[in-house]
């Protein structure tokens, strides 16, 4: 018994106190910043280095739906035009604002009054992994651990879609999982929300051109919240959900 109490005392209070102000260590690659610096002429090093074609030129912009937040473009650019910061406010309700350039440098989450009214104090989510590599899944799990402790905000991941208010989709939607994804969405009572988490879910990521992927159904659905990352960082998800609920 003493040992147990000792371990408990030693464990202390592990939860991040102010999750809205918390930042990951500086080396974390979060919100990219595109500087106003002019590019060297005829240079396309950033575009060439990007594994998912997330970068376009004139003006230089990064589509965070596709971005894997890898170090490649930052290292490739001779003009230091692209730089990743550890800012985790990278999610949006409007996907257009996820395309980051020197001008558009802030993704926007708009609060839906109805959603806010119903789910503000209690949001129960069902996770569906459809080809997710277990990176985003582990990070969504981490949301409920002692450090991030998302349960304190009334946000929980539940077992049954019947108990859920929405789905968090991870993975590019594999053909073999498309039907089960559809069935799970259908099993959730209205009103329901659809949240996409991670580059695979947002754009197909590395797998967008694979014939084993089927994003047809997803392309016809209304998406309520886009959370970029590869994988999504728990602080990114927590802040996205809180902002979306207007908290």
Partner 1 sequence: MYKWLKVKNPAIVPLKDIPVLTVPEMLEEVVDLIKNEGVRPLHFAGRKTHDNRKVTVTIVLADDVENSLLLSQVVFTADDCYDSLTPQAPIMHLFERELYEQAGIIPLGHPWPKGVRYEHDRVGDLGNFNEYPYLQSEGIRMHEVAVGPVHAGIIEPGSFRFLCYGEQVWHLEIQLGYQHRGVEGLFKTGSILNKSHLSESIAGDTVIGHAWAYAILAELLTDTEVTNRVQAIRAIALELERIAMHLVGLGGIAMDIGYLPGASVYGRLRTAVINTMLKICGSRFGRGLIRPGGVLFDIDTALNLEIVDVLDVLYRDIEKINELFFNMPSVLSRLEHTGTVSKETAKAIGLVGIMAKMSGLSVDSRISHPISIYANERLKPHVLDGGDVFARAKIRVLEIDQSMRLIRRWLGTEVKRNELYVKPGTVKSNHLAVSVVEGWRGEISHMVITGNQSSVLQYKVKDPSFNNWMGLALAVRDNGISDFPLCNKSFDLSYCGFDL
User: Which residues contribute to the site for partner 1 (CB under 8 A)?
Assistant: 3-4, 6-8, 10-11, 14, 24-25, 27-29, 51-52, 68-72, 75, 84, 126-142, 145-147, 157, 159-161, 171-172, 174-177, 179-180, 184, 200, 205-207, 209-213, 230-231, 233
- The least distance separating partner 1 from the CB of residue 138, rounded to whole angstroms, comes to 6
Radius of gyration of the chain (CA): 19
Nearer Cβ to partner 1 (3/190)? 3
- The least distance separating partner 1 from the CB of residue 113, rounded to whole angstroms, comes to 29
Nearer Cβ to partner 1 (43/108)? 43
Whole-angstrom distance, CA of residue 169 vs CA of residue 17: 28
Cβ-count burial of 96 within 10 angstroms (0-12 exposed, 13-18 middle, 19+ buried)? exposed
Nearer Cβ to partner 1 (225/230)? 230
CB atoms within 10 A of CB 84: 19
Nearer Cβ to partner 1 (36/159)? 159
- The least distance separating partner 1 from the CB of residue 206, rounded to whole angstroms, comes to 6
166, 125 contact by CB (below 8 A): yes
Strand partners, 99: 63
- The least distance separating partner 1 from the CB of residue 103, rounded to whole angstroms, comes to 26
202, 168 contact by CB (below 8 A): no
What would the two tokens of residue 71 be?
């170090």
Coil, strand or helix at 122: coil
Does residue 195 have a cis bond before it (omega within 30 degrees)? no
- The least distance separating partner 1 from the CB of residue 71, rounded to whole angstroms, comes to 5
Nearer Cβ to partner 1 (130/240)? 130
- The least distance separating partner 1 from the CB of residue 144, rounded to whole angstroms, comes to 8
Q: How far is CA 55 from CA 38, 45, 47, 135, 197, in A?
A: 16, 10, 5, 23, 20
Nearer Cβ to partner 1 (97/136)? 136
């Amino acid at each position: 018994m003493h040992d147990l109490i000792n371990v408990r005392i030693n464990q202390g209070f592990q939860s991040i106190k102010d999750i809205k102000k918390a930042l990951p260590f500086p080396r974390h690659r979060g919100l990219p910043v595109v500087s106003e610096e002019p590019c060297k002429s005829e240079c396309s090093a950033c575009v060439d280095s990007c594994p998912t074609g997330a970068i376009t030129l004139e003006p230089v912009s990064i589509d965070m739906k596709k971005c894997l937040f890898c170090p490649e473009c930052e290292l490739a650019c001779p003009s230091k035009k692209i730089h990743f910061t550890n800012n985790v406010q990278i999610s949006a309700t409007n996907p257009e604002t996820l395309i980051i350039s020197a001008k558009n440098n802030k993704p926007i989450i708009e609060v839906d009054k109805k959603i806010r009214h119903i789910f503000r104090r209690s949001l129960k989510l069902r996770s569906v992994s459809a080809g997710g590599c277990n990176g985003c899944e582990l990070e969504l799990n981490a949301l409920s651990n002692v450090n991030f402790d998302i349960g304190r905000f009334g946000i929980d991941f539940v077992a049954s879609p019947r108990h859920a208010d929405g789905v968090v989709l991870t993975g590019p939607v594999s053909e073999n999982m498309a039907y089960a994804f559809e069935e799970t969405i259908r099993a959730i009572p209205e009103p329901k929300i659809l949240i996409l988490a991670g580059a695979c879910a947002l754009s197909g990521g590395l797998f967008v051109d694979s014939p084993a992927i089927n994003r047809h159904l997803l392309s016809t659905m209304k998406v309520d919240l886009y959370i970029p990352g590869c994988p999504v960082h728990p602080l990114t998800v927590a802040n996205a959900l809180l902002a979306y609920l207007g908290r």
